[in-house]
Amino acid sequence: MKKKLKNFIFTELIYHEDPASFGEDANLLEAGLDSMGIMRLIMYAEQEFDVTLPDTEIEPDNVKSLNALEKWIRHACQSQ
């Protein structure tokens, strides 16, 4: 899951010289993920992983890193 998310983020949303060096806990928001990018990322995740991510849970803590994003998606999957 993280590999797919990381690939999408760094090919579609954020420019980073060396995405392979971007750690799983590194801050995506500080790297340039903006509100439009977050919405695109959520739509991608919902389609790719067949999950609904509740609007009420869209907050910085859930999208701040690859690990946080994966945790949020897995939690949503278990809740459905």
Name all domains of the chain by residue range, CATH numbers in brackets. Answer: 2-14+26-79 (1.10.1200.10)
pLDDT in tens, the chain (80 residues): 999 999 999 999 999 888 889 999 999 999 999 999 999 999 999 999 999 999 999 999 999 999 999 999 999 999 87
Total-model pTM: 0.92
Closest C-alpha to 49, from 21, 75, 18: 75
Q: DSSP code of 56?
A: G
Distance CA 79, CA 34 (A): 27
| Predicted pLDDT at 79 | 84
Contacts of 32 (CB under 8 A, 6+ apart): 13, 14, 15
